[in-house]
Structure 1
């Protein structure tokens, strides 16, 4: 069956592999006998970047806690930074072992090779010559593909599309030609997915056993669950941009309105049910626009409202409304008979180019 290679960018974007989608994905891979491979450098990058991200979030939390403590009495247990880091590393090792994830060792690369390759400026190196860690990731995958005993296909999960990918004829991401040329057999060249979710939906879900809503009455009313989840998650969410909104770069969903559901599909993964809901929702979005752009525009978008025309010397605070598609996944445990997690994506979200969210 297939072999799945996971890059650092995807692993970090999935909350350092702690997202509910990861658990379902790894369970499904085990059921379908897909081999999941994480290069050792990715494992090391997770362990190296986790303390940095934890430190950022902890500082923000402590500041908010301090401000809140001026208003109310707080009774919270102190979080020990070192204990949290140790707990994550132990949890990560258990996760990979439990699901049979293979750690592919570092390839045999000399410092001289890294330097020489950086000057050739072939992918995955950037034009600046940066990309040593990406090169190690690629050489790990290349070694696995060339020496693999498993039949194809191979899947490569990366959100670092600028360094690993090119564009296919249909606009979808494909392996960059510089990298594809290193694998002589086209059947062995990995298919690219930019998230755990996209790989799950396209590669795994079609082969998983379906289940009906009648079989899980404890799930409750799907419409109510969807409304509750959207209302709890979307307000306050920041985005780079959203189709239908005439401004971008750090916009915020301030409120949501009515939603409609187009489809509901369920797939059973071991003791878990993955409920996928597709629909549309009304959103109000706030953000900023340069005064110069606003006043120099030949025609101001009728769907943009000025909330504060003098936010500062340079920008105006504006708002807009649109109806946008949503893709909601609920994770339901058949054992505990409760929803254990959710993930919401907005297909019309416009993302920035930085791969590590």
Structure 2
């Protein structure tokens, strides 16, 4: 499992969490592809930054409103028509820091983010001893109280992580946490016995380019507007007492989301050199190599599903199937391309001179894709939706 622990440096300039990077992180979290941890200290500090920004914005707006009124009065004195100038009322809104903090907390929790409190074992004495010893993240001047609380939260998460788990600490506060382009050795020493691994990245953009996350990001919605719509739907609060969404709707949304995540995935065919999702048996010529999914166009009306197991009386294991047209691109030796490319477009030439020996080609196949889903009864989203296999559509249609 990949866990992302975020410091205030990633919220300081984006307190509303609306950047593309934040929306991608929150989407992956809601889809259970990664786990996101926001220390409670970071949330509260973010609320403080929001309050300062809100007060400044109100002050600027009221200053401009006052200036507009004075300009209008001066223009009237000069006999100049002011019909195009509309007076505005003074902004009397309050910067409700506690309201912002509560709303942000609810939003994050609804998306699956862990807002992690300060570990119970951390008390004033713990922090005082760290300060007196001038241990990072405390600076020689004694600055670093909140940073120390964040680090104690990071440490607690890492020390309780599973074997081989990747824990990313996202912070650009390099002076307090880092040294020579990496996490400070004295901090690394505090988590050296952890089963999971702690990795440092400076910001969310750098994190999303990491090899562990980049393939996930490639399968997400392509535009910021699409991400925003997804997150808005995910955080919509239904009326108290409203009936749970029908299982069919939850399954459909999970499968459509899983299909989007297939983009960019490598596929395995009858060619022994290929690896990835098992697409063998779909009649893809073995001469094609390095195939990956470029697009998936599914027929939503073909979706079928059935519960094949129930345990603990609340957890459903479901198998869902859907027919889709899958566009793939890959490579073939130039010596094979002549008889592979056909007029029907089953194998298409994309670029002849990919290199001296290979051509870049594409193909399209029809398949019935199956997914294994784990769903808690009454939930509005699935716990897991994993690709299970691909079968040709022709036996079912014959």
TM-score range, shorter chain: 0.5 to 0.7
Q: Who is 2:318 aligned against?
A: none
1:267-346 → structure 2 map (5 Å cutoff): none
Preserved CA contact (<8 Å) 2:170 2:200: yes
Aligned counterparts of 2:257 and 2:91: Cα–Cα separation in 1: 34
Contact 1:24 1:269 in 2 (8 A): no
Alignment gaps of 5+ in structure 1: 168-172, 220-267, 274-357
Paired position in structure 2 for 1:177: 185
| Residue 265 (structure 1) aligns with | none
**What SS does the aligned partner of 2:169 have?**
strand
Q: How far off is 1:209 after superposition?
A: 4.4
User: What's the secondary structure of 1:139's corresponding residue?
Assistant: helix
1:55–1:272 CA distance, 2 compared to 1 (3 A):
farther
Find out whether 1:158 has 2:171 as its counterpart. Answer: yes
Q: Given that residues 2 and 34 in structure 2 are in contact (C-alpha distance below 8 angstroms), is that contact kept between their aligned partners in structure 1?
A: yes
> Who is 1:101 aligned against?
113
1:7–1:38 contact (8 Å) kept in structure 2: yes
| Larger mean Cα displacement after TM superposition, 62-71 or 120-129 | 62-71
1:104 deviates by 1.3
In the other structure, the counterpart of 1:239 is: none
Deviations 1:256-313 (A, max 9, x none): xxxxxxxxxxxx988999xxxxxxxxxxxxxxxxxxxxxxxxxxxxxxxxxxxxxxxx
Distance 1:185 1:2 in 2: 18
CA contact (8 A) 1:29 1:204 kept: no
Match of 1:46 in 2: 46
Look up the match of 2:15. 15
Larger radius of gyration: 2
2:205 aligned with 1:192: no
Shift in alpha-carbon separation, 1:77–1:6, aligned structure 2, 3 A: farther
Please state how far the C-alpha of 1:67 moved relative to its aligned partner. 2.2
Change in CA separation of 1:91 and 1:117 when aligned onto 2, cut-off 3 Å: same
> Could you tell me how far apart the structure 1 residues matched to 2:126 and 2:184 are?
20
Q: Is the 8 A contact 1:4 1:35 kept in 2?
A: yes
Task: State which drifts further: 72-81 or 104-113.
Answer: 72-81
Contact conserved, 1:27 with 1:269, CA < 8 A, in 2? no
* Distance of aligned partners of 1:84 and 1:109 in 2 relative to their CA distance in 1, 3 Å threshold: closer
- Please list every run of 5 or more consecutive structure 2 residues that lacks an aligned counterpart in the other structure: 73-84, 227-255, 262-398
Per the alignment, residue 334 of structure 1 pairs with: none
Structure 1 ranges of 4+ moved more than 6 A: 268-273
Q: Distance in 1 between matches of 2:177 and 2:220?
A: 37
Aligned with residue 124 of structure 1, among 129, 134, 137: 137
Q: CA offset at residue 12 of structure 1?
A: 1.9
Q: Distance in 1 between matches of 2:158 and 2:189?
A: 13
More relative contact order, 1 or 2 (CA 8 Å, 6+ apart): 1
Q: Is the 8 A contact 2:138 2:145 kept in 1?
A: yes
Confirm or deny: 8 A CA contact 2:4 2:36 kept in the other structure.
yes
